[in-house]
Amino acid sequence: MKEFGFELRVCAWAERGWPPGDNADDDVVPLVARQLGTRRRRWDTVVVETTEEALRRRAPFGEARLDSDLLHVARNAPAAWAYYREALPDPGYPWRYVREAVHRAADRGFVETRKRAGRVELRRRYRYPDWVDRVVAIENKPNLGAPAADALAEQLEHDVALGLADEVWLATQATDAGVEPALLEAMPVEAGILAVADGRAEPVWNPRSLDVETPGTRVLERPDDPPAARFEYADPGWKRRKRLEIAERAYERGWRAYAETMRTDCRHFRLVDPEGPFPRCAAKSRGQTAAECSAGCDAFEPEPPVWRTRGWPVEGGPGKAVERLLARKRRRRRRRRR
């Protein structure tokens, strides 16, 4: 199976089956998203562990993510009126950006603002909750032979050294032998391994919890000559902020946002399997990748205009309906437990 289709199936399984193995916990609500991380490292699948109660407290801040500037305001806004430059900690960048963020926060409805003697004052309407329990990273490699395992092992070693996620996993396709023995041997012992078959994943190696509260090591370059690699420390404050930003993006996007970068307006685009749904290309008679289902696809054909007059006159044809369906599913997932 291609990596993209595999990744979507791991996401669908994580939404139903997280945490893996015998660790089932009814209190854990997994929010699953794809392709999130930092500027230097994107994880295929991210699972944010939270609870129903925490999601209820996050809800007043809206469905869209809070970016780093908005998080600065949300986490520090005072309960009583105060001048914003006295109420909020020095952000380490110009205050005018903070002022803009305060106004955006007011537009989003989680703080109130007023002007007193030419100064912008604010007070919070809701306390920003501590809603993220754990952030888990999963690397997906369906068909991984021994040669490629080394490169992947190095990547996972960097994830372990940084300790930005609470756990890192590798998800791979189960084979007749279970999991390729060379793979088990190559991976760092701190990383867990999931064997995936028939849309279900079973742990064959359990990960160790990483310490997200202590400084981590970030690799700046990966030259062929390892002694020349450059490293820097990632302090716990940076890690805390990044984890929250990742969780906020996961909250906003979920994993079904794949439709936003695919040609849902192509007459061959289909959604299949209610467990997903997953994209399928009728012209190719298989699941297509996001990369091939793009402007450059030779087989692309626009929806015939007549489709747009059959009950979808204003909002577009079936392609638009697909996007709305996926967006609805995404929203329902966030609200399901409220």
- Binding interface with ligand SF4 (CB under 6 A): 263, 266, 268-269, 281, 283-284, 288, 292-293, 297, 299-300
Q: How far is the CB of 97 from ligand SF4 (least distance, A)?
A: 40
Q: Token pair for residue 276?
A: 């997903």
Q: How far is the CB of 321 from ligand SF4 (least distance, A)?
A: 15
Q: Name which of 245 and 265 has its Cβ closer to ligand SF4.
A: 265
Residue with tokens 């044809």, as numbered in its chain: 317
Q: Name which of 123 and 270 has its Cβ closer to ligand SF4.
A: 270
Q: How far is the CB of 289 from ligand SF4 (least distance, A)?
A: 8
Q: Token pair for residue 47?
A: 């699972």
Q: Name which of 50 and 288 has its Cβ closer to ligand SF4.
A: 288
Distance CA 231, CA 334 (A): 38
Q: Name which of 210 and 293 has its Cβ closer to ligand SF4.
A: 293
Q: Token pair for residue 72?
A: 């600065």
Contact by Cβ (8 Å): 217, 207: no
Helix axes 68-76, 95-108, angle to 10 degrees: 80
Distance CA 210, CA 335 (A): 30
Nearest in space to 51 (alpha carbons), one of 31, 33, 37 = 31
Q: Name which of 58 and 263 has its Cβ closer to ligand SF4.
A: 263
Q: How far is the CB of 252 from ligand SF4 (least distance, A)?
A: 25
Q: Which residues contact 262 (CB under 8 A, 6 or more apart)?
A: 269, 279, 288, 290, 293, 294
Q: How far is the CB of 308 from ligand SF4 (least distance, A)?
A: 17
Q: What is the dihedral of CA 92, 96, 101, 102, to 10 degrees?
A: 110
Q: How far is the CB of 283 from ligand SF4 (least distance, A)?
A: 4
Nearest in space to 205 (alpha carbons), one of 220, 189, 219 = 189
Q: How far is the CB of 265 from ligand SF4 (least distance, A)?
A: 9
Q: Name which of 55 and 297 has its Cβ closer to ligand SF4.
A: 297
**Distance from CA of residue 321 to its chain's centroid?**
24
Q: Name which of 83 and 300 has its Cβ closer to ligand SF4.
A: 300
Contact by Cβ (8 Å): 133, 51: yes
